[in-house]
Amino acid sequence: MDAARVLATIERLVDKSLLVPVSTPFGSRVRMLETVREYALARLRESSLAPYAEQRLMSWASDFAREAAAGLASGDQRWWTGRITEEAANIKAASELMALRSRTAQSLLLEARLGYYWFISGREAEGIEPLRRALHAYDTAEAETTAPQATEKEWALFYAIAWLVWLSHESGQHVEAADYIRRHEEVWRNSNSHLLQALGHCYVPLYAMLNGENDLEHEFVAAEAALTDTDLNWERIVLHTKWSTYCLRQGDDEAARKHTAEAVAASHAADDSFARAWSLTLAGDADETGGLHDSARRLWTEAASAFDSIGARTRWAYAALRIGFLDVAAGDHPAAERRLAEVRRLATELSADDLHAAATNLTAMQALQDERHGDAETSFRGVWEASASPSDRRAVAGLGLALLSMLDQPDRPDDAQTYLEQVRALQPRLLEPLAQRAVAALIDKATAILDTAGANRFTSPGDHDAAARILENLFDGPTVRAAFC
């Protein structure tokens, strides 16, 4: 059927209310009511055209995913992120149909190609299910064959599991991530592809970091060597950003800055705006750790602008949160209030528990600076008592409650000590080493403050500057940013 006849047929169906026209940023589309869709599917299955229609849908989805994967790693990220979101229902239908028609490798490859989409859009938890579903269908089908895997199958399996590791880790599903790490290692070590084996070595230090291992310099060097003379810029970006974080954990902020510079260069080579913004965020982390606060602000501001330009709202929020941390530490109340309010609104809209808790803690710190102790206590207590609050955010809130108790009830030091002991119990359970170190530093600072207060050197009746001095003490010296953002 030519295009003119297709359009004429669609117009007749719209006139009869069997199709509903919808305007989108990408043009006009049509959709069906559920009852009409079920009726149309039933009629299609009764006809001889069903196999042809199914093949057209699956071919379209495979081609779309291939183009989308290339588009997501280009300067057109915002456009492609929107297009994938718009086609989500059709992609899901095609992927499930592939699995149903024993094209499980094709379904797995489709979902693997869209893994970056879930990361860019900040919807990591949502992206796990389609990948997990496709992997389960693939495993079920492969259990019935003894034939060696084709190259395309190996690539599909390699990247699908790699994205499951990453998305699970980013979503806080660390047990699941560890299981996928073991599976991923089996895949690349048993691969028939020398390139996949080389790529697999690049993931060794990354996964070791996720598992909390130390002394990984040799593994990072080996991974860098595996990427020499390749154009695998994404893997190079991931390697150097993780290497930077590793250096920060080792207390080497200068080396961390070197590796973020490598990541930024690779993102420019790939023309990947999201990866550049992500690399800039970590470059800011390295500068802030080294006490270069103005440089960190500049880098985080540039990263936030880039995230905003491609619609990566969650990533924008974490960059803005970092700038808000500097605002609070510097006592810039108007800027902090404006920025944190934006982050809280987005966190509520996205139901992002970690983001909401982090922004609330900084808001409470600002209230403490402003001598609004009641507001500070309400905010800290909301995070402390919320079951959805991550442990590092609860630790900060508990320390805030301890300090408030010392300020408002100096005659009851046991209350402050109780909060402090509860936070001490939380600290070893934190999985992220930088957050664990930051919380430990906050505990030491809070303990010193409480000891000082007990000696009547920090507070006295009518001392209205005590809170300001306490916060100045908290933010002074080695960075505690990782506990807040």
Q: What is the pLDDT of residue 298?
A: 98
332 lies in some domain: yes
Last residue of a domain, one of 11, 30, 47: 47
Q: What is the pLDDT of residue 455?
A: 47
Q: Phi and psi for 372 in degrees, rounded to 5?
A: -95, 75
Q: What pLDDT is recorded for position 413?
A: 67
Q: Give the long-range contacts of residues 416-421, CB within 8 A, separation 24 or more.
A: 416/450, 417/450, 420/446, 420/447, 420/450
**Does residue 137 form part of some domain?**
no
**49 vs 150, residue with greater confidence:** 49
pLDDT at residue 229, as a whole number: 87
Please, which pLDDT band fits residue 149 given cuts at 50, 70 and 90? low
Residue 65 in domain: no
Name the residue type at position 409.
Q
What's the rounded mean pLDDT across residues 42-64? 91
User: Which residue from 257, 263, 190 is spatially nearest to 224, judged by alpha carbons?
Assistant: 263
Q: How many domains are there within the chain?
A: 2
Its domain, for residue 425, covers 312-485
Structural domain contains residue 438:
yes
Report whether pLDDT(203) > 60.
yes
Q: Distance (Å, rounded) from C-alpha 360 to C-alpha 346?
A: 12
- CA 57, 10, 66 angle in degrees (round to 5)? 25
Cα–Cα–Cα angle for 191, 194, 195, nearest 5°?
Answer: 100
- The C-alpha atoms of residue 477 and residue 485 are separated, in whole angstroms, by 17
Average pLDDT over residues 113-136: 95
User: Minimal CA–CA distance to 187: which of 162, 205, 168?
Assistant: 162
Residue 281 CB contacts under 8 Å (≥ 6 apart), including other chains: 299, 300, 303, 315, 318, 319, 322
Look at residue 342 in the predicted model and tell me its pLDDT: 95
Give domain status of residue 85, yes or no.
no
DSSP summary character for residue 213:
-
- The β-bridge partners of 24 are 27
- Whether residue 363 is contained in a domain is answered as yes
User: Is position 317 within any domain?
Assistant: yes
Per-residue pLDDT, 377: 95
Query: pLDDT for 431-460, tens place per residue?
Result: 788 898 899 988 888 888 777 655 444 444
Residue 52 lies in a domain: no
Q: What is the 3 state secondary structure string of 5-26?
A: HHHHHHHHHHHCCCCEEEEECC
Angle at 33 between CA 32 and CA 38, to 5 degrees: 90
**Phi, psi angle pair for 30, to nearest 5°:** -130, 150
pTM, two decimals, is: 0.87
Residue 410 has pLDDT above 80, yes or no: no
Q: Residue 1's pLDDT is what?
A: 58
pLDDT at 395 over 80: yes
